[in-house]
A and B are shown apart, each in its own frame.
Chain A
Amino acid sequence: AQSVTQLGSHVSVSEGALVLLRCNYSSSVPPYLFWYVQYPNQGLQLLLKYTSAATLVKGINGFEAEFKKSETSFHLTKPSAHMSDAAEYFCAVSGLQGAQKLVFGQGTRLTINP
Chain B
Amino acid sequence: DGGITQSPKYLFRKEGQNVTLSCEQNLNHDAMYWYRQDPGQGLRLIYYSQIVNDFQKGDIAEGYSVSREKKESFPLTVTSAQKNPTAFYLCASSPSTGPNQPQHFGDGTRLSIL
Q: Are A43 and B40 in contact (CB under 8 A)?
A: no
Q: Are A106 and B41 in contact (CB under 8 A)?
A: yes
| Known interface pairs A51-B100, A99-B97, A99-B98; A43-B107 also in contact (CB < 8 Å) | yes
Closest residue of B by beta carbon distance from A6: B42
How many angstroms between the C-alpha atoms of A43 and B99 in the bound complex? 20
Chain B residues with Cβ under 8 A from A102's Cβ? 43, 45, 103
Chain B residues with Cβ under 8 A from A69's Cβ? none
Chain A residues with Cβ under 8 A from B63's Cβ? none
Chain B residues with Cβ under 8 A from A95's Cβ? 99
How many angstroms between the C-alpha atoms of A44 and B106 in the bound complex? 8
Interface string of A68-81 (1 = CB under 8 A from B): 00000000000000
Closest residue of A by beta carbon distance from B49: A100
Chain B residues with Cβ under 8 A from A49's Cβ? 100, 102
Closest residue of A by beta carbon distance from B45: A101
How many angstroms between the C-alpha atoms of A41 and B90 in the bound complex? 11
Q: Are A32 and B100 in contact (CB under 8 A)?
A: yes
The yes or no answer to B110 lying at the interface (CB within 8 A) is yes
Q: Are A41 and B48 in contact (CB under 8 A)?
A: no
The yes or no answer to B85 lying at the interface (CB within 8 A) is no
Chain B residues bordering chain A, tally (CB within 8 A) = 27
Q: Are A90 and B50 in contact (CB under 8 A)?
A: no
How many angstroms between the C-alpha atoms of A77 and B14 in the bound complex? 44
B91-114 interface (Cβ within 8 A of A): 92, 97-100, 102-108, 110
A21-43 interface (Cβ within 8 A of B): 31-32, 34, 36, 41-43
How many angstroms between the C-alpha atoms of A36 and B90 in the bound complex? 14
How many angstroms between the C-alpha atoms of A21 and B81 in the bound complex? 38
Chain B residues with Cβ under 8 A from A32's Cβ? 99-100
Q: Name the contact of A100 in the complex, choosing from B31, B105, B108 (C-beta under 8 A).
A: B31
Q: Name the contact of B90 in the complex, choosing from A43, A94, A107 (C-beta under 8 A).
A: A43
How many angstroms between the C-alpha atoms of A35 and B86 in the bound complex? 26
The yes or no answer to B65 lying at the interface (CB within 8 A) is no
| Known interface pairs A49-B100, A100-B56, A101-B58; A41-B45 also in contact (CB < 8 Å) | no
Binding site for A on B (CB under 8 A): 4, 6, 31, 40-45, 48, 50, 56, 58, 90, 92, 97-100, 102-108, 110
